[in-house]
Amino acid sequence: MEQDEYQKLLEKYKDKVKAEFGEKAATAPQVTSKEYAEFKQELYPTRYSLYEKACNLSESILKLKPDPAKAVAQQKNIDTCHLNITPGGVTSFAILAALFTIVVGSLVSFAIPVLFGAEPMFFFVIFFLVVGICLLFALQNLPSFIATSWRMKASNQMVQSIFYMVTYMRHTSNLERAIEFASDHLEPPLSLDFRKILWDVETQKFSTVKDSAEAYLMTWKEWDKEFVEAFHLVESSLYESVEERRIALLDKGLDVILTGTYENMLHYAHNLKSPMTMLHMLGVILPILGLVVLPLVVSFMGSGQTPLITAIYISVLYNISLPIGVYYLGRMILSKRPAGYGAVDIGEKPGIKKFRNVNIPFGKSFTLSINPLIFTITLMVVALLIGFSPLILHTLNVPDFRFNEAGTLKMLDYVCAPCIETSAAETCGPGCTEENKVGPYGLGAALLSVVFIFGVGGALGLYYSLRSKNVIKIRQRTKELEDEFSSALFQLGNRLGDGLPAEIAFAKVAETMRGTTSGDFFNITEKNITKLGMGLEQAIFDPHVGSLVSFPSNVIQSSMKVLVESIKKGPRIAAQALLSMSRYIKEIHRVEERLQDLMADIISSMKAQIKFLTPAIAGIVIGITSMISTILTKLSAQLTQFAGGTEVGGTGDLLSIFGIGIPTFHFQIVVGVYIIEIVYILTILSNGIENGADKLGERYALGKNLISSTALYCFIAAAVILLFNLFATAILQNTIR
């Protein structure tokens, strides 16, 4: 031991002796954990660090003391997700952000219209007032929201954490090493929690690992009692002197968390039907059916606002307020999901990141890697130009053209708004100029707006699909290996139990399981040993040619690490460890299949809503509203023309309440964007219910659902718009002559 290390150790124990005799330590150095800080910085999203800075800055500006009872609950949430903020900072930031939103939003709503010579938009003043009030409560509850998200991600790894600890402690009864082994194989955020258990001991916050672990388990007592009980059983095995009882306690710990997980998920599945029905009705069915009434409401509200301003109002309701409400309800449903099984996002691993791009090979030595974002932006820009071409053509004063001889079906079809008492003659009726016409109401414009929605939804779906397509194939191949790996481990354990060296045992199992995914794994390992002259550990874990490079699985990696560690104690110990792991993997797989069976009804119902019901209903509703809008617009124009040369009071009163409808062009864009948002939110929700916090599966599902649902909606909407507009034209030709 070097002199400085010896001196530090001596000073440490001198201080402990002085503390025992009631004396104050000579020095009280501030011990920090650089590794923990660096790990937290790498793990945490940028938005969390920005939120921390915002709260700390707000606390320096506005110093507040929150309610003590609420502050205690809020501090628990802050500690859970390791945020460097205080309850006072959270309250200060919520108040300042709400006031800023209300004041700035109201000023902008007044100032911008006045600059352009229009009237102030009182609608947006009220909107920003409501947003500010909602923001006040939402930001105060944001630590709870982040903590809930943290718990959901961590709870998906609870079973795996106990599995790794039990696996390690079967051959080495050391709690500290077992926690370290689990933290090395778990994904964030639970790996951060496990490392913090060890770092709290290193930084002398706790004197023993058991005390540090007990303090951590206190945070889970009200959320996951099975995890706490299983952890305590694993701890209890340390005090058993009889090997059989020690192993029995470890097996009992894993059994407790497996059984508890299944029972909790069973209750969750039974209680999920009611909130999901409410979410579907409030977020999908009622808003879409309400779209049928909107054109009538807009038309009979009169011509006080231009159709574009009306479309903006509807967009604020359907594209901002409703999606936020649906997302909030969905997150509340997900927050009650118990511990389950979360798949690993292998796309974040160093060797797999390149597969998130589009890779085009040029020969054997060069591969062009293109970010999918390039294709997404290109497709979206093309869709934007095509979709908004009616507005561009009207701005450039391009002459309109007709689709039929009667002239009832036009490409752009800009019309004059009906006259009311407050309107100027040049802005309404037959005397309005080309610049004052409103629209477009044409059939061609409506169909081009559908192209815009297809481009936006398709571009987003293409991005997620290209980003996850290659990676999901690797994970599916790895999943196949995990499914059959228990039998492969059983065979390998039997070979080692016969006294064969590990290198020869791998070759025997590779020959026996030839043609399977497990056979491929063992075959790669055997070739690395025989042809490349590697040792067993290097043949498996080499970062370039190791067998784990092709199969990035934490379960397989941990199994092989246990093999490498236990083989040092002899083939018999390694055989027992592998046979136990085989049984554990089989048990976990069995419970996982039962959980999938439990959620099958709800998941299949949600997928049907996402893929068919929601886009189909919305497409039909758009066609109906298009027909209603066409009829009301033409009727309004005919009544205006009829009253143009008369002074009959009855007709004037009728026109004052009978305005012009909203163009299908604007209306369809609002509804199309809403469908894209709802499909996005429901996909995240269904994936969260089925798989927990699985980012890779979420991206893959978004890629499929956004493309298929948007394409179905656009096809139905375009077909029904075309068909119903022909019906509306025929009706108008027969009734108005």
- Token pair 């439990």 is at which residue? 598
How far is the first Cα of the chain from the last one, in angstroms, to the nearest whole number? Answer: 105
Dihedral of CA atoms 556, 562, 563, 566 in degrees, nearest 10, equals -170
Q: What is the mean pLDDT of each run of 10 residues along the chain (737 residues)?
A: 57 64 46 53 60 87 83 84 85 91 84 64 81 88 82 76 83 86 80 84 84 88 86 90 87 85 78 81 80 68 62 84 87 72 59 72 72 89 89 80 68 67 53 69 85 92 88 79 78 82 83 82 86 85 83 76 78 77 75 75 81 86 80 66 50 52 83 91 86 80 92 92 81 64
160 and 297: one domain? no
**Taking the alpha carbons of 610, 707, 345, 594 in that order, is the dihedral positive or negative?**
positive
Residues 6+ away with beta carbon under 8 Å from 348:
none
pLDDT of amino acid 321:
86
C-alpha to C-alpha distances, 183 to 191, 250, 567, 693, nearest whole angstrom: 4, 18, 22, 18
- Asked whether residue 95 is domain-assigned, the answer is no
pLDDT of amino acid 233:
92
- Asked whether residue 389 is domain-assigned, the answer is yes
701 and 670: one domain? yes
> What letter represents residue 363's amino acid?
G
311 and 206: one domain? no
Residue 49 and residue 37: Cα distance in Å, rounded? Answer: 13
Bridge partner residues of 367 (DSSP): 361
451 and 514: one domain? no
Dihedral of CA atoms 728, 732, 734, 735 in degrees, nearest 10, equals 130
Residue 692 and residue 190: Cα distance in Å, rounded? Answer: 14
Write down which residue in 590, 615, 650 finishes a domain. 590
- Per DSSP, the chain holds a count of helices (H) and strands (E) of 29, 2
Compute the radius of gyration of the chain from its Cα atoms.
Answer: 33
* Nearest by Cα to 657 from 339, 368, 297: 297
Yes or no: say if 128 and 106 are a contact pair by the CB < 8 Å rule: yes
Residue 79 and residue 147: Cα distance in Å, rounded? Answer: 9
480 and 434: one domain? no
Structure token digits, residue 555:
């379960």
240 and 300: one domain? no
Residue 347 and residue 358: Cα distance in Å, rounded? Answer: 14
- Token pair 């977020």 is at which residue? 283
- Asked whether residue 344 is domain-assigned, the answer is no
pLDDT of amino acid 406:
60
How many Cβ atoms are within 10 Å of 269's Cβ, its own excluded? 18
pLDDT of amino acid 224:
81
241 and 308: one domain? no
278 and 412: one domain? yes
> What stretches of 206-335 show up as alpha helix (H) in DSSP?
209-218, 225-236, 243-271, 273-280, 286-300, 307-315, 322-335
Residue 715 and residue 711: Cα distance in Å, rounded? Answer: 6
Please give the angle made by the CA atoms of 490, 493 and 495, to the nearest 5 degrees.
Answer: 110
**Biggest alpha carbon distance in the chain?**
109
577 and 700: one domain? no
432 and 318: one domain? yes
Number of structural domains in the chain? 4
Range 583-586 contact pairs with CB under 8 angstroms and sequence separation of 24 or more: 583/486, 584/163, 584/166, 584/167, 584/254, 585/482, 585/485, 585/486, 585/489, 585/555, 585/559, 586/486
Yes or no: say if 43 and 113 are a contact pair by the CB < 8 Å rule: no
pLDDT of amino acid 479:
77
pLDDT of amino acid 454:
93
* Nearest by Cα to 417 from 665, 729, 659: 659
Residue 147 and residue 335: Cα distance in Å, rounded? Answer: 10
490 and 389: one domain? no
- Asked whether residue 140 is domain-assigned, the answer is no
How many Cβ atoms are within 10 Å of 22's Cβ, its own excluded? 6
Yes or no: say if 171 and 562 are a contact pair by the CB < 8 Å rule: yes
**Residue-number span of the structural domain to which 681 is assigned:** 273-334+373-474+593-735
How many Cβ atoms are within 10 Å of 52's Cβ, its own excluded? 17
Residue 530 and residue 327: Cα distance in Å, rounded? Answer: 55
- Helix, strand, coil shares of the chain as percentages rounded to 5? 75, 0, 20
Residue 546 and residue 548: Cα distance in Å, rounded? Answer: 5
pLDDT of amino acid 676:
93
Residue 212 and residue 33: Cα distance in Å, rounded? Answer: 15
Write down which residue in 590, 610, 631 finishes a domain. 590
Write down which residue in 244, 271, 298 finishes a domain. 271
- Asked whether residue 610 is domain-assigned, the answer is yes
Structure token digits, residue 29:
């150095």
Residue 328 and residue 129: Cα distance in Å, rounded? Answer: 19
- Token pair 């033409």 is at which residue? 634
Residue 337 and residue 156: Cα distance in Å, rounded? Answer: 10
- Asked whether residue 646 is domain-assigned, the answer is yes
- Asked whether residue 469 is domain-assigned, the answer is yes
605 and 544: one domain? no
Structure token digits, residue 694:
């699985």
Structure token digits, residue 97:
């952000």
Bridge partner residues of 417 (DSSP): 428
- Asked whether residue 683 is domain-assigned, the answer is yes
> What letter represents residue 185's amino acid?
H
